[in-house]
Amino acid sequence: MKSTLKAYFDLVKFRLTSTVVATSVFGYVLGCKFNSTDSSLTGFSWIVFAGVLVGGLFIVFGSNGLNQLLEKSQDSQMSRTQSRPVVEGRLSESQARIFSLFCGLFGIAVLLFTAPLLTTILGALSLVLYVFVYTPLKGVTPLAVMVGAIPGALPPLIGYTAATGVIDDAGIILFLVQFFWQFPHFWAIAWLLHEDYQKAGYWLLPSKGGRDKYSALQIVIYTIILIATSVMPVLYGMSDVWALTGLLPSGALFLFFAFKLHRSLEESDARKLLYTSFLYTPVVFVTYILF
């Protein structure tokens, strides 16, 4: 029983899922804040909050499981993914398919009964885009990173629409922050795992030269765009000017490591950039909440 539970735990990639769902929660809290006249959480509902949390969790569970099912052949060729449960046979394809579909459908149902219809549609769209568009494209074109950034950026918007029922300027900004963050984040991963990805036929860095100056330059450019996008809530009056005390230092640190990678092209600097990216979005979203 313990080994079976661990296999399902590995199938849904629980730790990764928790970080994705956290952005949905941030989005919901910010939706309540931005749409409250006194900047408090007067529109907060524990039922909707729980729906966003549980529904989002199971949708991502389903997405991750179906992704592993579709990528079984490629995963078996990469050192990083050879120990995944479907590859190792700890779970059969049938078990993975049934469990993943159940998780995805259950998550959508939870959103349907606890949140606005728009939120449910966005939740379902995130699963469809990730599993049936992004996953097949990974082996075809580096542009898959841009396509994958769309479902990856939907969680904060899903949380936001659960609070507001609409997609407005504030919701779009939250989406764009998460969208542009994914490029330096994912390219840092692709930098570290370039050879491993090539074993499976994936070329995910933006340059045909792989770990070259052009790829590093793209990381710098998208980091600058991300920082500019992150300060937009201050310019729109959604957050106080004091939010810059959190946004600017975190952005400067992120950009510092992006420039450092561009200068050195070393894997050690790509790793530092990756670790910095993990901290960036929580700092940004918490800053929006506080200010």
Residue 146 lies in a domain: yes
Amino acid at 142: P
pLDDT 10s digits, 142-195? 888 899 999 999 999 999 999 999 999 999 999 999 999 999 999 999 999 999
Beta strands in 131-288 (DSSP E): none
Tell me whether residue 173 is in a domain. Answer: no
Nearest CA-CA partner of 99 in 113, 119, 85: 85
How far apart CA 250 and CA 285 sit, in angstroms, is: 12
In Å, how far are 41, 98, 130, 237, 264 from 243, measured between CA atoms? 18, 45, 32, 11, 32
The first and second tokens of residue 30, run together, are: 């910010």
Q: Which two tokens stand for residue 66?
A: 């179906």
Which of 103, 138, 167 corresponds to the end of one domain? 167
Judged against a pLDDT cut of 70, whether residue 287 lies above it is answered with yes
131 and 18 in a common domain: yes
- Looking at the structure, tell me whether residues 19 and 44 fall in a common domain: yes
Chosen domain end from 167, 197, 228 = 167
* Residue 264 and residue 128 in one domain: no
- Is residue 45 located within the same domain as residue 128? yes
Question: Residues 227-251: pLDDT tens digits?
Answer: 999 999 999 888 899 999 999 999 9
Burial class (CB in 10 A: 0-12, 13-18, 19+), 83: exposed
For residues 216 and 124, membership in a common domain is answered with no
State whether 200 and 284 are in the same domain: yes
Domain count, the chain: 2
pLDDT at 12: 87
Residue that the structure tokens 């050192």 belong to: 79
Are residues 65 and 92 in contact, defined by beta-carbon separation less than 8 angstroms?
A: no
**Residue 199 has what pLDDT?**
86
Answer yes or no: do 210 and 242 share one domain.
Answer: yes
Contact 277, 223 (CB under 8 A): no
- Of 279, 274, 252, 248, which Cα lies nearest the Cα of 261? 274
Nearest to 164 by CA among 34, 25, 1: 34
Same domain, 191 and 126: no
* Torsions phi, psi for 266 (to 5 deg): -90, 145
Q: Side-chain half-sphere of 92: how many Cα atoms within 13 Å?
A: 3
Q: What is the pLDDT of residue 253?
A: 97
148 with 199, same domain: the answer is no
Whether residue 203 is contained in a domain is answered as: yes
In a domain, 156, yes or no: yes
Q: Does 206 map to a domain?
A: yes
**Can you give the pLDDT at residue 37?**
55
Rounded CA separation 19/69 (Å): 22
Are 260 and 160 part of one and the same domain? no
pLDDT beyond 60 at 35: yes
Between 169 and 203, residue with greater pLDDT: 169
222 and 80 together in one domain: no
Q: For 67-82, give the DSSP string.
A: HHHHTHHHHTTSTTTT
Determine phi and psi for 201, rounding to 5 degrees. Answer: 85, 15
130 and 218 inside one domain? no
- Angstrom CA distances, 105 to 20, 57, 58, stand at 18, 12, 8
Q: pTM for the whole thing? A: 0.93
Structural domain that includes position 287: 180-291
Rounded Cα distance, 88 and 152, in Å: 27
